[in-house]
Each structure stands twice: as structure tokens, then as C-alpha cells.
Amino acid sequence: MKKTNLLPYLEAAFAASVWGASFIATKVALRDVSPVTVVWLRFGMGLLVLGAAVALRKQFALPKKNEWGYFALLGFLGITFHQWLQSNALETSEAGTTAWIVATTPVFMALLGWLILKEGLNLVKIFGILLAFVGVLLVVSDGNPASIRIGKFGAPGDSLILVSAVNWAVVSTLSRRGLKTNEPALFVFYMMTFGWLFTSVLAIAGGNFVEVPRLTFDGWLGITFLGVFCSGLAYIAWYDALQALTTASTGVFLYIEPLIAMVVAFFVLGEPITVAALAGGGIILLGVWLVNKT
């Protein structure tokens, strides 16, 4: 009997778990410094980890002439803008709520595929999309959707998180081309390099460097976890798993991300685990599963 290689499954589980805890680490770091400083330090560390991985695997090569603008766009959207949205949102949004909203990203990817790539949407997928949005309403309203009205969508940061989910769907759609012609670790390294450079411009313009000495032990712990694990090791593990497993098999592990976030937020931040969050989160995951169902 052929022995199953557990390593890719463990790598996928590791990446999803780490990304789930990233929302909590960001909130911890935000107690000491501003969102731009968190993003700048995080991806500076992540670049070092990814750069070392690319060098050790002897995969390094400069982008092709026609790819510089492409990677600059991905770096701005996928790193600078995306992380600015999430870090600013987490100043007011609960980590658990944030993770549930982010879990809807595949729904927006399906909608973009339908609008831009002319990919089909059957009745099951449409029902899944509607179901996921019902789940989001339950989560952000704490079980009282009637409280949501024009100009008010949960906490102030919840709207930014919803925008970040749409933005990541755009980035994922744009990434398809580059991943076909580049090694995954190198691809992410390119994107992260440009994103970090754009964030550095923001940090210089805003004088955010002076905030670094304000970081406490807990703040540095949060930043280091975000940089080394979330922006470095998790990306490497995730793409290693993708190369060994099917996309569907790997993608299943993303379902544990919001669950990890909710549990870690309970123990680290004291965020309550409510019936509304569990019910809404379950509806979101069911909707996302239906959208991804072939």
C-alpha cells in the first residue's frame, strides 16, 4: 500500500492556523504603534524570510521587462493597500468578526470570475453567495440584522474588512497569470518587495519610524509573529502544499482560519464567542463551500 505523505497536509494546516492568529497579533501590535508601522515592520521581516527561502532554493531571478509594472500593481493592491485596510479596520473591529468577513473572499472571486472572466454561475453557486452574505450580516450585527442600516455596517472597521475581501479577490484573479510563469515563492517575493517599498514611502512621509521605540515586548511579539510566521513561513508552507496537493484539497484548510481566529481572540483578547458569531460563521462557511462546489 502506498504511504500517504502527511507533510503537505501539515503545511496547509500550519499556514491556515497562522493566518487565523494573524488578526489577533495585529490587534496586539496596534496597541503600541499605528497601522502603517505594523505593516512596514511586518513585511520587512517577511521579505527577509522569503528572500532566504528563495536563495536557498536557488530560485532567484529578476522579473521580466514586461512584469515590473505587473508586480508593482500586485504589490500595491495585495500588500500596501490590502494590509492598510485590514490594519486600520482592526483598530475598531473584533478579530473574530474580521476573520469571518475575510472568509467570504472566495465568494467575491466567483463574482469577479463571472463578471470579468465570463465564468459560469449556476443556481447552487448563486444560493451560496446569498447565504454567505446572510452569514456576514449575522456576524457583524451580532445576530440582529435589523440594526444594519444605510451608513452603519457593524463596527467602523467592518466595512474596511469587507472592502479588503473584495480587494483580495481582485489580487487573486490578477495573480493567476504570474503564478503560471513564476515559482510561487519567487512570485510572492516580488509582490512583497514592491508592497514593502510602497509602504516604506508611506512610513517616511508620515514619520512612522519614530514610533518603533514605543513597541513593548508584547508589541514586538505580535510584529515578529506577523513577519516571520504570517508573511514568511506560512506563505512558503502554503505554496509547498499547493504544489503537492490539488487546489481543492489545500483550499479546504482555509475553513479553519476563522475558527482559529475566534478561539485565539477569546484567550488572548478576551473577545466573547457568541451564538450569533458561531451561527453566522457556519452560514458563511456553508455558503463559501457551495460557491466552490463544482
Q: Domain residue spans in the chain?
A: 19-292
Closest CA to 165 of 140, 199, 194: 140
Q: Residue 167 and residue 159: Cα distance in Å, rounded?
A: 12
Q: Residue 55 and residue 37: Cα distance in Å, rounded?
A: 27
Report residue 43 as a C-alpha cell: 513585511
* Cβ–Cβ under 8 Å, residues 109 and 292: no
Query: What does pTM read for this prediction?
Result: 0.88
What are φ and ψ of residue 252, in 5° steps?
Answer: -60, -35
Per-residue pLDDT of the chain (294 residues; tens, 9 = 90+): 444 578 989 999 999 999 999 999 999 999 999 999 999 999 999 999 999 999 998 888 888 889 999 999 999 999 999 999 999 999 999 999 899 998 888 888 888 888 877 777 888 888 988 999 888 888 887 766 666 554 555 677 888 999 999 999 899 888 888 888 888 889 999 999 999 999 999 999 999 989 999 999 999 999 999 999 999 999 899 888 887 887 667 777 888 999 999 999 999 999 999 898 899 999 999 988 888 775
Round to the nearest angstrom and report the end-to-end CA distance of the chain. 30
